[in-house]
Chains A and B, each alone.
Chain A
């Protein structure tokens, strides 16, 4: 059994153990779940430390046949690009388990669900087979929806929670359906390209060149999958609802990991398999992300409800990550690692603080004049988290933001027509929105407390304070010593970008062919058929689209640039 397999199985084992405990022992159940999450974190750190960036492209492989007749296998492995995501999951889940209300009877199912969710997330990240990935994604979607509805019914339930969970399900489940459709589409395309061989291996599938129509349709399915889980403007409404009324632990985990995981799926599945569509749709996607960022930044200045503010901060911060993901820049992809880590850790802190306000019945930050005198720790921690999101120098957020902006500006011109516009606008929006958040917190904290505020609003307890301090400390440490993680993920990201450009180039060449235009082919078959093409894929792509800096390449264009996209 490899480490990758253990990393998936340990949370499942923890879930089974917690489920076996009596419901009357919530403290014991939470302690066991936390211990399991810490063991998982240890395994992830061990996996990362054992990863050799100069070694094999895929390390710690675990492959077992599942449905050989359909070419499906249980396949896990690490290529380096997923290490930041793994660390994010490993860090956020134990922190999320500790925040929220103290242990209470009836909590074990929530902990079982959280552990199962962690296992599913880890499996999504480590999966090397599209069906394994889809299976884990569906499990994660199911677990998330169920967990968000925790105690949403009955007399003791939280008002609005069931409705929020339903709303979230209404968005996520069509995405889950779209993923199934995508799986079938790609599998059939592979079978057609190889004369009837079924395989869902991600490495094999990324070696396919699909016809343009299939690429556009497939990428649209990916967008449906990702956009419903990210969230992306204007599909962010369910996220806001769950931030207002969802269970604290689940909200922290979903905000911290859920969106980042959707981006990961976009980069792992969407971009390599549909490079042509990904390249041509990068600008519209970046534009939507930037519009979302501007919208969220403005809302951050005006919003007074803590839960809604939290949701819009998440939307704001992910917008820059979306631009990075579609920019086709290796530097931006590398910067995405620390950026998402800062995102997850800061949002965990903000969730703890805003949900403590919710527990106290505070639905409007305007009611909190003088909050600093009543709950100084909560205010300080929230403001530090806000600074982390803005990109406090020396923190992981700063490193990530810097990497993304520089990467998009330097290398983003191949995918984005206006990399500077989108990159700078998104970064500026993040800064603007972060300032809005800080302003709201500052205004809530200053002044003398209103009469009765001390009795109404409570300070974060020691447990939650420790969690927030640890989260912020980790973000600082990773900002000060980013090399350990960046060094491991960089080669894989460079390879991924090279593959992306090559795939795009081959798709362009294949779409220019008169015969076999509507047929899926492997890169190898295409190379045999077309001869020496795509020797300099980036130059070929530039030449095809008439991008600046296009030099002459050996292969002449088969059609005018404007007619490439249908």
Chain B
């Protein structure tokens, strides 16, 4: 045990370490328990396994909820021999992934429509969904690149198998072959991911994220260190070789030893990044998503929500948290070089393709892809801000510039998380609404099937409309809060400012598509029937859609709560777990947040006071004898336009 690092002085006990990562174990044990209980499910009603699965996810969600904002996580720590990590980011992403998983489990249907047999009704779907959720949580908690790979594999394989557990897809030979095709690129991507991890190991000698940033910096320090020897050999190599061949050979060896880690590290890093982006389904691999969208609805929802949360958490942990040093983040060698272009092109492609799309599940998946492109842009902005070196240009001193960049980085990080929350809620709500319709309720649902839905099921139509509008960022819904943060981050970043126009156009195109659906729902021909199966859908999808719509409205109207939820993980996001600087920075930020809260309260009270004063003033002025001829301008203003006091941590102009 000691060798495994599970017991050490001043280290958390095994029980504490396990409780830190409780949601993972709950899901894993729950999946096994579900497989066992499946034996009893055949005798019972179709929703038996779903209820159990929801119960398990609920317990895991409570465990994750209890860790939200817990001061224990301020510092963050690696547990179980540095294989896993816990901090505010893991707590927030756990909660989000579990909420998404609950939605996915809930919206999955009980039975298929085509050639259903007793064998196909085998209840492997819920355990597989729980395993996929466990894989997502492992990714979120990963403290080692190998664990990242394991989590991604568990997630991918479970999600892939869930496609086959969806009876409709298996019933159609064309879809079955399409799903089988998934296996090949999926396996290739997994290999590339593993190859990337292997190259990184070869370069650093470790795959642990504990001290990863330091190891990466050492690689580049070595690289920089041998540069002068390269120059010397270039100039005087022939002379040295003629005078002392052994020294020449030794010098060459030293140079190779200095350059090799970087030569291995950079390709490894790019393979890792490429693998993650491929799993996320960004261009040029978006075709894979289309194949995924042939799958049953809950599988598409799983890929669009749970997988996104898990992989974005990995990107935040590895690339923003550990690899945001200037050389690694910025061009020419930095990982952020091509990523904005990939994200932007993906977003534009998705917003153009969605114009011609009639299948509702694909429309939602493509809208989700546009969201994902925004998330990636914000990730790049966050890393770029954190990797910014204060150069003291323009009007800001270098010290303040560094402070500003850290604050801007935290804000961009917050925007990522807020957008992720709104994205997950709205996407799950959209898929649930599609799954709640009568007749077709899978990937075959088309826009015309929903024409006149407002007359048939007004509640469902409202919920679907709200979730769709939140996806395109209509104020005052939750999606708007997220997009505002992302756009603000882009505007702060001088190299990314121009992207605002593209993003605004993307969102306008998406809004067009959404408006077309809503117009069809509310003003479409009411006589259109809903073809497909006659069985009444379960109540769960409708409940989930309603809850998602309410959350979208609530989190939009009370968007500050959403920001409060996201800013704590964001503030520690640029530090490695266990870094003492993280505690110091969090304390500074807490002071700043407190002053912000005070300003809000003071502003609120001041407004009430002013309103009361105005009322009194109006009453007194209603008496002609007491009415003054005129008032000075300074007294006339009822709301002082002067800006709020400057927070202590923010840089002056």
Contacts and interface: CB of A to CB of B under 8 A. Distances in A.
Nearest to A2: B611
Interface string A151-165: 111111100001001
Given A135-B476, A519-B395, A154 B527 contact: yes
A530 interface: no
A64 B604 contact: yes
A146 B518 contact: yes
Contacts of B515: 142, 145-146, 149, 169
Contacts of B487: 180-181, 184
Contacts of B641: 201, 203-204, 207
A77 interface: yes
Interface in A127-176: 128, 131, 134-135, 138-139, 142, 145-146, 149-157, 162, 165-166, 169-170, 173-174, 176
Contacts of A184: 484, 487-488, 490-491, 500
A181 B611 CA distance: 33
B560 interface: yes
A61 B638 contact: yes
B481 interface: yes
Given A106-B455, A180-B487, A194-B646, A142 B637 contact: no
A59 B518 CA distance: 38
Interface in B622-653: 627, 630-631, 633, 636-639, 641-644, 646-647, 650-653
Interface string B499-541: 0110011011101100110111011111110000000000000
Contacts of A70: 484-485, 488, 563
Given A70-B484, A77-B639, A177-B504, A61 B610 contact: yes
B492 interface: yes
Contacts of A376: none
B599 interface: yes
Contacts of A176: 508, 511
Given A135-B480, A138-B474, A154-B451, A65 B522 contact: no
Contacts of B639: 58, 61, 63, 75, 77, 128, 201, 203
A531 interface: no
Contact of B524 (A68, A134, A153, A516): A153
A134 B475 contact: yes
A520 B508 CA distance: 29
A192 interface: yes
Interface stretch (A47-55, A251-259, A298-306, A315-323): A47-55
B425 interface: no
Nearest to B627: A54
Contact of A197 (B508, B597, B646): B646
B254 interface: no
Given A70-B488, A197-B650, A199-B643, A57 B637 contact: yes
Contacts of A162: 519
Contact of B522 (A50, A62, A109, A196): A109
B596 interface: yes
Given A169-B515, A174-B505, A153 B643 contact: no
14 contacts: A23-B455, A56-B638, A63-B639, A67-B481, A67-B559, A68-B560, A109-B522, A113-B522, A149-B515, A151-B523, A177-B508, A181-B500, A184-B487, A196-B404
Residue among A59, A67, A203 facing the most chain B CB atoms (10 A cut-off): A67
A181 B501 contact: yes
A363 interface: no
A196 B600 CA distance: 16
Contacts of B501: 181
Given A63-B603, A68-B600, A519-B653, A194 B481 contact: no
Contact of A185 (B454, B483, B491, B644): B491
Nearest to B650: A196
B527 A56 contact: no
B618 A55 contact: yes
Given A169-B515, A196-B646, A65 B488 contact: no
A553 interface: no
A449 interface: no
A69 interface: yes
Interface residues of A, number: 80
Interface in B588-621: 596-597, 599-600, 603-604, 607, 610-611, 614, 617-618, 621
Nearest to B525: A154
Q: Which range contains the number of B residues in contact with the other chain?
A: 35 or more
Contacts of B337: none
B370 interface: no
B458 interface: yes
B474 A180 contact: no
Contacts of A50: 618
B407 interface: yes
A39 B645 CA distance: 41
A181 B504 contact: yes
A152 B488 contact: no
B306 interface: no
Contacts of A166: 512, 516
A215 to B, nearest CB: 16
B143 to A, nearest CB: 30
Contacts of B475: 131, 134-135, 138-139
A246 to B, nearest CB: 12
A265 B394 CA distance: 34
Contacts of A170: 512
A188 interface: yes
Contacts of B407: 196
B469 interface: yes
Contacts of B520: 153
B567 interface: yes
A208 B314 CA distance: 41
Interface in B106-127: none
A187 interface: yes
A103 to B, nearest CB: 16
A69 B519 contact: no
Contacts of B638: 56-59, 61, 77
A32 interface: no
A459 interface: no
Contacts of A195: 646, 650-653
B101 to A, nearest CB: 28
Contact of B491 (A57, A63, A188): A188
A178 interface: yes
Contacts of A150: 519, 522-523
Interface in B542-588: 557, 559-560, 563-564, 567
Residue among B483, B523, B638 facing the most chain A CB atoms (10 A cut-off): B523
Interface string B432-463: 00000000000000000001001100100000
A146 B653 contact: no
Contacts of B483: 180
A169 B526 CA distance: 23
Nearest to B448: A153
Contacts of B636: 55-57
A113 B599 CA distance: 37
B619 to A, nearest CB: 11
B502 to A, nearest CB: 10
A538 interface: no
Nearest to A20: B458
Contacts of B642: 204
Minimum-distance CB pairs A-B, first 6:
A154-B525, A135-B475, A196-B650, A177-B504, A203-B641, A63-B607
